[in-house]
Structures are given as structure tokens and as C-alpha cells.
Amino acid sequence: MARRMSWSGCKVHAVIEILPYPSGLTRNIVQCLNDFNIPLYLSHMVTNIYGKDRVEGIEIAPIEAGALMSEKAFRIACDTVLLSVGLVPENELSRDAGIEIHPATNGPWVDSMLMTTMPGVFACGNVLHVHDLVDYVVEEARRAGANAAAWLSGYRAEREIRVKSGSNIRYIMPMRVNPERENRLYMRALVVKNDARLDVRLDGTEVKSRKLAHVQPSEMLSLTLKPEDLAAARRDSTLEIALV
């Protein structure tokens, strides 16, 4: 929105972020803020909006160690304030149909085929969980379509195992995997971390590991597991992925 407002002729004075890290992609920070010399205030929040008939300015203050530092507040003169309060999948239709909703994603609970708790109903894209790259949406949509066609042809997963979010992982999609097929998993971190590693364990035994130079909650992570990675899986097995 900051870039679009700049293109429309507005002077954007600042972007205020309550979190200590950007909630957008790194390339968006560069292309939408840095290229337009728009300041980004991390760990800050708007504490007051001034004006009578219209906005005349705002007051913002930093947050340090979880505490609002009111004594360090300062004003920015402006006549417009735009609020961005995050994205939530549109799932009224899913709820009305009685489909189970996952609390971490606010999207449907799905199995290894991306099928919801209502047999024959599949989910993908932003209705399932919010994506930051359209590439992942297209990839997921193709999988959901192929799985729906397979389901209509009579295919059923013989066995699936539960997927568990380990330390520093907010959620993993899908919530179950088929150890007899290749599985593509998507996940989001809970923390900002450099020199990180995805630790994949089956019933406590490491089956795969992947090094990551940098992770942050706003950038989705993906991981592919092949049948040989899950060869030791039993029907009651649990796959846990942690960020260490």
C-alpha cells in the first residue's frame, strides 16, 4: 500500500510495525519502502491520532522488552492513516458446511491429499492458509486438483501419519502425510533466526535435516519428503518438524 500510495501522488511519511521484524517479504521492503525512501519503524505502535474534522497527525512510541515507552513518543504530521491488520482466510462457507478449521491457520484441516474433514472437498491457496508467493499457490492448486481427480477415480491413502509442529514452528501444512508418496510440506516459523536448521524426526529419530541461512515468520518455508525418508513409519507414527 505504501508503494501504491506513492504512485498515486501521496507522500508516505512512515510505515509503523509493532513487531520487531518486518511482517512482509524482504523484497517487498526493498521495492516498496527502500526504493521510495519510506521509513520503517519496527517495534513501534500508534498511541494517538490527532485532528478534529480530519486527521492532522499521529503519535507513535517504541516498544522495548514488551513495554510501551510513552516517554519516547513523537509525532508525525499527516492527514491520512491507513491500517493493515493482517490477512485471515475467508472460510464462512467451510464453517457453514461443518468443515473443521485449524486454529493456527484459520483454514480447513486437511490430510495428505489436501482433502478437508468433509470427504470429497479439497482446499488450497489462501482459503487454506495465507501464502506470500503465488508460486506456492499454483503448486498447491495443482496438487489439490490432481488429488481430487485421483479421489474421484477411487484412490484412497492406505495409511497416513500425523504431522506435529515442533519448537519455533507455528504450523505445518498439511497436517498428515502419506509415507508411501512424496509429500510437499509448507510451514511458518515463530521466530526470526539466522543459521537455522529444520530438524525432521519420525518418532524421535532424525530422518532429514535442512540448513537455512535466515528464517522469519513472514516468509513461508517448504520441505519435500520422499517415501524413503518415511520408510520406518508405522500407522501410529508421528512426524515432528522443529526449527533449531
Name the nearest CA neighbour of 80 among 17, 8, 10: 10
Average pLDDT rounded to a whole number, residues 87-93? 84
| pLDDT above 80 for 203 | yes
| pLDDT above 80 for 86 | no
Question: Which tens digit of pLDDT belongs to each residue from 110-150?
Answer: 999 999 999 999 999 999 999 988 999 999 999 999 999 99
| pLDDT above 90 for 157 | no
pLDDT of residue 222: 94
What residue ranges do the domains of the chain occupy? 11-77, 96-243
pLDDT of residue 167: 97
List residues bridging with 108 in a β-sheet. Answer: 101
User: 116-120 long-range CB contacts below 8 Å, 24 or more apart?
Assistant: 120/148, 120/151
Confidence of residue 22 (pLDDT cuts 50, 70, 90): confident
In degrees, rounded to 5, the angle at the alpha carbon of residue 213 between the alpha carbons of residues 3 and 63 is: 55
| pLDDT above 90 for 21 | no
Q: What's the pTM?
A: 0.82
Confidence of residue 231 (pLDDT cuts 50, 70, 90): very high
Average pLDDT rounded to a whole number, residues 233-244? 95
Give burial (CB, 10 Å; 0-12/13-18/19+) of 140: buried
pLDDT of residue 123: 96
3-state SS string for the chain: CHHHHHHCCCCCCCEECCCCCCCCCHHHHHHHHHHHCCCEECCEEEEEEEECCCEEEEEEEEEECCEECHHHCEEEECCCCCCCCCCCCCCHHHHHCCCCECCCCCCECCCCCCECCCCCCECCHHHCCCCCCHHHHHHHHHHHHHHHHHHHCCCCCCCCEEEEECCCEEEEECCEECCCCCEEEEEEECCCEEEEEEEEEECCEEEEEEEEEEECCCCCEEEEECHHHHCCCCCCCEEEEEEC
Strands 205-215 and 176-177: unpaired
| pLDDT above 90 for 51 | yes
Backbone angles phi, psi at 93, to 5 degrees: -65, -40
Average pLDDT rounded to a whole number, residues 87-92? 82
Percentage of the chain modeled with pLDDT above 70: 100
Name the nearest CA neighbour of 57 among 74, 38, 76, 73: 76
